[in-house]
Amino acid sequence: MGRFIAIYGGTFDPPHQGHLHVLAQVREHCHFDHILVFPAARPSLRRAPVAASNHRLAMVKLAMRPLPGVIVDEREFNRPGPSFTIDSIESLRQEKPDAVLNLLMGVDVLKNFERWHRWQDILGLCNILAITRPGWILSDSVPEWWCQLRLDPAELRSCQCGAVSDLSIDPSPVSATAVREMLAADQIPGDGMLAQPVLEYILEHRLYR
């Protein structure tokens, strides 16, 4: 595995083409050596996922399989208790002490970052790359410390941890909520909302019905 690594976490309930769209654009703009996808087994700051953890993990593996350089990391499923990001990053940092780790998050998630468990320690172990949409003015949504630590995305490769940056990408109209609502109404999500293997898995196991 290369040294310049992105970390992309989420509940993936279910994983949809919007997730893949983010990864493709981030890879194109930032040229990460690898992207590690961390499905959250037991999220601590949001409602419990609808699908069981074993199903979500299986779907993430199906969704990410065709993407070069994208690796599904199961460590949050291999330990008990809530899924705290700091625990995963500490574990990864021990394995890769010389890597440049970059935690990806949407700007909506960034607004609640100071509620995360040991959020300041996260900055001591990795960088943060916030994903925004064209037209967003990030300075209206972030605290002062963000402005003080901000670098251009091109500079992240030379900073092992403690830096923040933002990347504007074209938005995707797909959301997990919309997918779940369609399935609950016995409608098949269309227009490329789900990778075909993921859709087949959902139908086979009658998820979200």
Could you read off the pLDDT of 93-138 as tens digits, one per residue? 999 999 999 999 988 788 788 889 999 999 999 999 999 877 666 6
Q: Dump pLDDT digits (tens) for 76-88.
A: 888 877 778 999 9
Residue 113: count other Cβ atoms within 10 Å of its Cβ: 20
| Whether the Cβ atoms of residue 11 and residue 49 lie closer than 8 Å to each other | yes
Would you state the pLDDT for residue 192?
86
Ordered domains of the chain (ranges, CATH): 4-171 (3.40.50.620)
Q: Using CA of residue 116, residue 121, residue 123, residue 129, what is the dihedral sign? A: negative
Alpha-carbon separation of residue 116 from 35, 39, 86 (angstroms) = 22, 16, 9
Q: The whole model's pTM is what?
A: 0.92
pLDDT at position 139, please? 63
Cα 108 from Cα 4, distance rounded (Å): 25
Helix or strand (DSSP H, E) at 70: strand 70-72
